[in-house]
Amino acid sequence: MTLVTGGRNAPPPPGAQVPVVASDSHYLSDAGPDAPVLVEFLDFECEACAAAYPLVEQIREEYDGRLSVVARYFPLPGHANAENAAVAVEAAAGQGAFEAMYQRMYATQAQWGEQQQSQADLFRTFAADLGLDLAAYDAAVADPGTLSRVGRDLTDGQALGVQSTPTFFLDGQRIEPTSIEDFRAQVDAALAQRR
């Protein structure tokens, strides 16, 4: 079973090492090269990702300056607008608004999620609300390179064994936190290993 959607990037060759954090990954928090790194493969239309979002934000706040947090796209094919949402966020990222658009997607998911028709026009209104240059935003959305960038995250995720969202990695190891307390314990353990 393949989960590749419109990104359609070729899978890495067998035995290739795929990094959990790519050179062009988006950092929500960057605590520097010596800090543990939490990576989330996410789908903006995924209800479980929306449920995890406040926990991730809480962890970011509590460990500010001590933990780096990276978001990577993993739009699932069962969600009609997951890829559109990822492309919209990536287009916003080109104007320095990755985090603002990321937050807007989760804040409004109940409004646009589970819709079968394209929500691209709605996502454009989000870009306008954020004060983005809409001509540049439209050009980025239309640019095949934007979709390819989303597809690279998806392909990397598949190579790393990601099958559902949200999927978390902490310092390169997959973790499955069951609560905010469990999340904290795993981050604390990663921090303790750095001492």
**pLDDT tens for residues 78-132?**
999 999 999 999 999 999 999 999 999 999 999 999 999 999 999 999 999 999 9
Q: Which residue has the tokens 């988006």?
A: 26
Flag whether the pTM goes above 0.85. yes
Tokens of 54: 């406040």
3-state secondary structure of 12: coil
β-strand 37-42 against 26-29: which pairing, if any?
unpaired
Share of the chain above pLDDT 70, in %: 92
Give, for all 195 residues of the chain, the pLDDT tens digit: 223 334 445 555 555 689 999 999 999 999 999 999 999 999 999 999 999 999 999 999 999 999 999 999 999 999 999 999 999 999 999 999 999 999 999 999 999 999 999 999 999 999 999 999 999 999 999 999 999 999 999 999 999 999 999 999 999 999 999 899 999 999 999 999 987
DSSP state of 13: P
- Cβ atoms of 42 and 105 closer than 8 Å: no
